[in-house]
Amino acid sequence: MSNRRRITAVALIALIAIGVMVWGLWPGEIWTGGVGGRMKLDLGGEVTMEFVEILPGEFMMGTDPTLRDIFWGGMPAAIQGYRRSLPDTYEWERPRHRVRITKPFWMGVTEVTQAQYEAVMGKNPSSFKGADNPVENVNWDNAVEFCRRLTEKDANSGVGAGLKPAPIFRLPTEAEWDYACRAGNPGEWCFGDNEAMLGSYAWCNANSGLATHPVGLKMPNAWGLYDMHGNVWEWCSDWFGDYPSGFVTDPTGPSSGSSRVLRGGSWNHNPRYARSSSRNRFTPTAADANYGFRVCMLARTE
Ligand SMILES: [Ca+2]
């Protein structure tokens, strides 16, 4: 090999090596976060509620516009209004934007079950009865009241999760829910984009027999959370509204509104509604057999 050829070969290898390094140092998305410990709360009567600690991190929330959206985006407002009313547009999910979660929080490993709801509220409004099935027929106000009573019960009884001081319980924000659902996966579902795998993770109308199922029977996501896709839609704390654009930190949604956010799809809905980005909304005072919730636990800071 001549010197010139040798120099060319070395230069080429060096160029490829630099290319690989730059590629590695410049990913399309920055993924941090993950999980910490697990904790079990004793609600009495042999009823427990388990939580997993979700660590701070960043993720992309929402759905990118498709070429079809860009086409529709150039249409007059009246036509765009019609398009927004179509079910498959995912218009509510835009713009896709970067979110940073700065504080750790504990997420309920499952949806709140009927046994858990009864232990705290003393009643069970569900249509599909079963101690381990998710509670449904609960409106947003009921879910918030459950969290309030759980906070009170835990502080008074001392049977709580062992955090000192006693923690507070509340609904997750929509961003916390979304972050926990994806568990680091930017795909359509927590396991990626292959819809054929959804049946292993979720109860939707395709496999539910049109009923809820006991929580935790399907595969958990990478952070150990069950039924984030399907079974029942889950109330979040936010008012429903358009997403912000750009980079946001610990978003809590609009300051006012007429409906509250629900996430994750249900036993009664098409698998597309169970996507990580899928959004739903409902009047906070209205209940339905499709709607349940899960609880978020935080260290008390005040
Ligand atoms: Ca669910």
Span 244-259, pLDDT tens digits: 988 999 999 999 999 9
CA of 190 to the centre of ligand 1 (A): 13
Tell me, in angstroms, the distance from the centre of ligand 1 to residue 1's CA: 65
Q: Which tokens go with 180?
A: 């926990």
Taking the centre of ligand 1 as the mean of its atom positions, its distance from the CA of residue 236, in whole angstroms, is 12
Question: What is the distance in A from the centroid of ligand 1 to the CA of 54?
Answer: 18
301 near 282, Cβ under 8 Å? no
- The pLDDT tens digits of the residues spanning 166-210 come to 889 999 999 999 999 999 999 999 999 999 999 999 999 999 999
Does 38 fall in a domain? Answer: yes
**Percent of residues, the chain, with pLDDT higher than 90:** 68
Q: What pLDDT shows up at residue 167?
A: 86
Domain annotation covers residue 24: no
> Ligand 1 center to residue 111 CA distance, Å?
6
pLDDT for position 84: 59
- What spacing in Å lies between the alpha carbon of 295 and ligand 1's midpoint? 12
Cα 224 to middle of ligand 1, angstroms:
14
Burial of 180 from C-beta contacts in 10 A (0-12 / 13-18 / 19+):
buried
Quote the mean pLDDT of the chain.
Answer: 88
| Residue 23 resides in a domain | no
Any idea which of 61-70, 211-220, 235-244 has the lowest mean pLDDT? 61-70
- Taking alpha carbons only, the member of 125, 164, 131 closest to residue 47 is 131
Residues in Cβ contact with 252 at an 8 Å cutoff, skipping those fewer than 6 apart: 173, 175, 237, 238
User: Which CATH number fits the domain that encloses residue 289?
Assistant: 3.90.1580.10
Examine residue 276 and state whether it is found in any structural domain, yes or no.
yes
Q: Tell me how far the alpha carbon of residue 302 lies from the centroid of ligand 1, in angstroms.
A: 31
Report CA(98)–ligand 1 centroid distance (Å): 24
- Would you say residue 264 lies in a domain? yes
Compute, in angstroms, the gap from residue 40 CA to the centroid of ligand 1: 20
Rounded to the nearest angstrom, the distance between the alpha carbon of 166 and the centre of ligand 1 is 27
Q: Classify residue 10: in a domain, yes or no.
A: no
User: How many structural domains is the chain composed of?
Assistant: 1
- Decide: 123 and 146 in contact? Cβ < 8 Å: no
Whether 86 is covered by a domain: the verdict is no
CA 279 / ligand 1 centre spacing (Å): 12
Cα(203) to centroid(ligand 1), Å: 8
**Cβ atoms of residues 63 and 90 within 8 Å:** yes
* 125 lies in some domain: yes
Residue 48: pLDDT band with limits 50, 70, 90: very high
- Are 254 and 281 spatial neighbours (Cβ–Cβ below 8 Å)? no
Q: Residue 202 Cα, ligand 1 centroid: separation in angstroms?
A: 8
Domain range spanning residue 280? 29-63+94-298
CB 51 within 8 A of CB 106: yes
For ligand 1, the distance from its centroid to the CA atom of residue 23, given in whole angstroms, is 37
Query: For residue 73, how far is its CA from the centre of ligand 1 (angstroms)?
Result: 32
Q: How far is the CA of 149 from the centre of ligand 1 (A)?
A: 22
Q: Give the pLDDT confidence score for residue 5 in this predicted structure.
A: 83
What is the distance in A from the centroid of ligand 1 to the CA of 233?
A: 5
Task: Identify the band that residue 10 occupies on the pLDDT scale cut at 50, 70 and 90.
Answer: confident
Q: How far is the CA of 12 from the centre of ligand 1 (A)?
A: 52
Mean per-residue pLDDT, 121-132 = 98
Q: How far is the CA of 167 from the centre of ligand 1 (A)?
A: 24
